Structure 1
Amino acid sequence: MNARNEDGERIPGAAMDRVSLLWRLRRRARRGALCMALFCMTMALLYTFCAENSIPVTDAIFGVKARTRAQPRTHTIVKVLRGTGGSKPMYTDPQKLPGIIPGDPQKPIPILSSSNYSMESSTKDHNLSSKQRKHGLFYWLLAQPLRRALETFFGGRRRGDVGATSGDAVVFGPNGALGEVWNEEMSSSMLGKRLRKVVQNYQAMNKYGVRYPGPESAARHSKLSGPELLCQIKEMVQIATLTPDMKPFSGLPLASQLPPRQITADIGPFKTCAVVSSAGSLKNSGLGKEIDAHDAVMRFNAAPTTGFEKDVGSKTTVRLINSQVMASEDHHFLSSSLYSAGILVSWDPGPYSSDLQEWFNKTDYPIFKQYQRYRRLHPQQPFYILHPRMEWQLWQRIQDNMMETIQKNPPSSGLLGTVLMMSLCEVVHVYEFLPSRRKTELCHYYQRFSDAACTLGAYHPLLYEKNLVKRMNKGSNRDIYTHGRVMLPGFTTFNCTNSSTSSTLSKTI
């Protein structure tokens, strides 16, 4: 039987069926939209409750991979140059890679393999039960498109976590209910194939003429405790900056621009100090107020504070910069206001022999040229240059306490700055040098560039530096896990005269 319209005319049955079908489709569309909205709200609530407050809960519901899948696809750095002998991979200006400095600008060693690659997986588990433990039960109940959406949504918060699940390194050791903290027994054998190869390449290089017998001598000694390590660094690392009376500078125009006294005589002492790394894990940390509460704050290279005050604070007392930053046009060292606040300290890798004449004639980057230019623009700002002897004395302390050969390159700015502040402060809090629960592959909190080498080291012996800092830490593992905070005592606060290592260590310096 046909229906009638408003004018009383009959509506054919086929037309009625089309109207009815359209009405049903609209009703289903409305229901689908409502269900999707409710689903998204539920996911957002679960994310807020779980991801922000409890990593283990998030992993149990959504799986570890849901936090770690999303990777930034930026910075295409590999360029193939066609030439004789076929094509070979070469980096476009590797000196500009954030956090990674090659040992030889003319012969860069590949560190990153592609634009969207930051951690390699060395093992694959094809067992279903193990996969369910890795991804979570909820993950496997969803269709593939929804899985990908969840992975992207939940992975954005802690993009590319550097954890034991990544397969590139067993970086973090268990610590009971606290979760995971840095494993102070870390060695190159625990790295993935890619990073292990990079470290081996740098270990084989010897650009700075390092003459060291190797770790065999250290292997004969017992493992030093934290207090013994502190005393070793205090007694065997001389904190020194260049002064006008040092040759060859004493006979050069540069002498009139160098500070007349050592930095330790001009600055401090401070009661509490913060050493703020540039680590990506500082992002969303909310540590700004805590950092600014210190009497002095050290920052590194081109790390900004504007726009990141909530996480890293705004106070800058000392800024340690390497010669690469000073020379790079991208960093605008001579014109940027970033460097004009506070006290500047610069450094450039000198020869292992610490021969100042040799270093002056062949620096890695034109540190002295840039120093003189900057001093003419800012004659009143305190500006010091570290003596290269300090760098290599600190490197030797690292090597002495490792059972394997480390990279024959100077320590990182992070460790140099930490030891410098230990000579100026009573207590030093170092933030995110040892990664917290926010551990991530993101190199710097102010950039979108990710690679595990920024945490584990490539050019610098970062991996071994972190082992030593973990051993010397006077704070708790909870502070490392929750805040990425290490507490180290200033050199003036402890006495090493009764140290059992004092007499024996002095013979090896």
Structure 2
Amino acid sequence: MKAIAFSVWIFINLVCFGMCGYIYLLWSQYWHYISKQQKITISEPSRLEKKPLVDYFQDLAPVDMHDVEWRHQKSAPVKRNSRPRFVNVHYVDLPQSTTNCGDNCGESSMTTDSQLAAFKNKLIVRLRQVMHDESSVFKSKNDNPYNVFFNGVRSTNIGSSQELVCKLSKVTPHIRTIDGKDEPFAGTDLGVRIPNFPLFSLDERYNNCAIISNSGAFKNSNLGSFIDSHDLVLRFNHAPTDGYEKDVGSKTTIRILNSQVLSKPEFNFLNSPLYKDIKLVAWDPSNYTSTLKQWLKDPDFDVFSPYIKHRDSSPETNFHLIDPRDLWRLWNFLQAHTSVRIRKNPPSSGFLGLALLLPYCSYVNMFEYIPSMRLTSHCHYFDITEDESCTFGVWHPLAAEKLLALNFNQAPDRTVFQTGYITIPGYSTVTC
């Protein structure tokens, strides 16, 4: 009996010692993280002054990340300016292409298969590093500005490109825009100004569609004429074409705008020719649990006033507002097909643009959404700002988006990493 009692006593002590050690390890890791974040916060102001106003797809990041405003709704609090937590991103020796992309760049053999494979592997490793860094429970539990909660299952079995497109088509058969006849918009100043015709008609179809990012990797790409050959070309926010036609083309069919482009005077939304004579669609994030009534009462940014003014000055423009609940449906889809936690902020305009076009295009080419071997530290093709986080994510869950986009893609690696675009089949071309 004494031997048994002594053995039990030793076992209990080992268990207690192990638990204490484990708790100490967790506690030390937590305070190590807090200490590291405090050092970053102290060193950030000078960096933030130089930080680009916008991210990779021109979805605006908060201008002053230290000036955080909170607003309250019945469902949950929402932080208007969520501070990006992943601010110190660095490349890991990504190889650069030694050739410029000509009209037949997809057929060029000047870049070897081994160079392409090395670039692809390093890029995927970096995207995964970013994604796993963002998934840290210490970083994610208090960084939830839109009160997002995901109670679904995170799957590791994504399937083929066509299977993935089929899954997305069931989640968002089409991206819904606000109908002025629906509550709570009916009879309001906003409701009477929403067009009584849809952004896309029921029989509107395109064979090949192009989504043009704002990436600095477009420089010296010579992709302009190829981009303009597409039936539909989608661009983002205030990205210009004048002076950049050789690399990004000049054709624009539709622009996706975020609410800061509409509401901030520096973008000259009401007067700029960039927003004339094309389809326009704007989006503004709501709280994850908000109703349309709550969103109408308290948008993230003032999207409604400039929308009304634009509709009054250009009533013939096909200009609509995205139903903000569809942003979170896309986020749910992205989280459901990512094995780790992702940022609890809305998807980028690029991912939104893909979901918007898939019902109407036989296939979609997304240019420089997945960075090609022309990748540099420049944020955009139209300015000289340098910041690697424009590529890997500063606010949106970009790393998770791009890894998923590689699973959507049907183009060969040479097209993706040398020419500079991925190809995704439209809903009409897949059998579900």
Alignment TM class, shorter chain as reference: 0.7 to 0.9
Q: CA RMSD in A?
A: 3.4
Q: Which amino acid aligns with 2:83?
A: I
* Deviation, structure 1 residue 176: 3.2
Partner of 2:61: 101
Partner of 2:168: 233
Q: Which amino acid aligns with 1:447?
A: D
Partner of 1:176: 114
2:380 equivalent to 1:427: no
- What is the alpha-carbon distance in structure 2 between the residues aligned to residue 432 and residue 272 of structure 1? 17
SS at match of 1:321: strand
Write the deviation string for residues 377-421 of structure 1: whole angstroms up to 9, x where unpaired. 111111011111221111111101111100011100011011111
- What is the alpha-carbon distance in structure 2 between the residues aligned to residue 182 and residue 323 of structure 1? 36
Is this contact kept in 2: 1:230–1:472, CA < 8 A? yes
2:385 to 425, 442, 449: 449
* Deviation, structure 1 residue 306: 0.1
Q: How does 1:229-268 map to 2 (within 5 A)?
A: 229-237=164-172, 238-265=174-201, 268=204
2:313 equivalent to 1:342: no
Is this contact kept in 2: 1:319–1:344, CA < 8 A? yes
TM-score, structure 2 length as denominator? 0.74
- What is the alpha-carbon distance in structure 2 between the residues aligned to residue 457 and residue 203 of structure 1? 18
* Deviation, structure 1 residue 483: 1.4
- What is the alpha-carbon distance in structure 2 between the residues aligned to residue 227 and residue 354 of structure 1? 32
- What is the alpha-carbon distance in structure 2 between the residues aligned to residue 476 and residue 157 of structure 1? 18
Partner of 1:324: 260
Partner of 2:150: 212
1:119 to 90, 99, 103: 90
Q: How does 1:270-309 map to 2 (within 5 A)?
A: 270-309=206-245
TM-score, structure 1 length as denominator? 0.64
- What is the alpha-carbon distance in structure 2 between the residues aligned to residue 460 and residue 388 of structure 1? 15
SS at match of 1:253: coil
- What is the alpha-carbon distance in structure 2 between the residues aligned to residue 475 and residue 352 of structure 1? 34
- What is the alpha-carbon distance in structure 1 between the residues aligned to residue 231 and residue 138 of structure 2? 41
- What is the alpha-carbon distance in structure 2 between the residues aligned to residue 399 and residue 346 of structure 1? 23
SS at match of 1:250: coil
Aligned residue pair count: 358
Aligned pair in 2 of structure 1 residues 94, 176: CA closer, same or farther (>3 Å)? closer
- What is the alpha-carbon distance in structure 2 between the residues aligned to residue 277 and residue 298 of structure 1? 9
Aligned pair in 2 of structure 1 residues 338, 393: CA closer, same or farther (>3 Å)? same
Aligned pair in 2 of structure 1 residues 205, 177: CA closer, same or farther (>3 Å)? closer
* Deviation, structure 1 residue 451: 1.3
Aligned pair in 2 of structure 1 residues 437, 210: CA closer, same or farther (>3 Å)? same
Aligned pair in 2 of structure 1 residues 479, 95: CA closer, same or farther (>3 Å)? closer
- What is the alpha-carbon distance in structure 2 between the residues aligned to residue 93 and residue 356 of structure 1? 36
Is this contact kept in 2: 1:299–1:318, CA < 8 A? yes
Write the deviation string for residues 156-183 of structure 1: whole angstroms up to 9, x where unpaired. 999xxxxxxxxxxxxxxx9635342277
Unmatched 5+ residue regions in structure 1?
Answer: 1-85, 122-133, 135-153, 159-173, 497-509
Is this contact kept in 2: 1:94–1:101, CA < 8 A? no
2:302 equivalent to 1:366: yes
* Deviation, structure 1 residue 471: 0.4
- What is the alpha-carbon distance in structure 1 between the residues aligned to residue 216 and residue 362 of structure 2? 27
- What is the alpha-carbon distance in structure 2 between the residues aligned to residue 368 and residue 332 of structure 1? 16
Is this contact kept in 2: 1:317–1:342, CA < 8 A? yes
Q: Which amino acid aligns with 2:372?
A: S
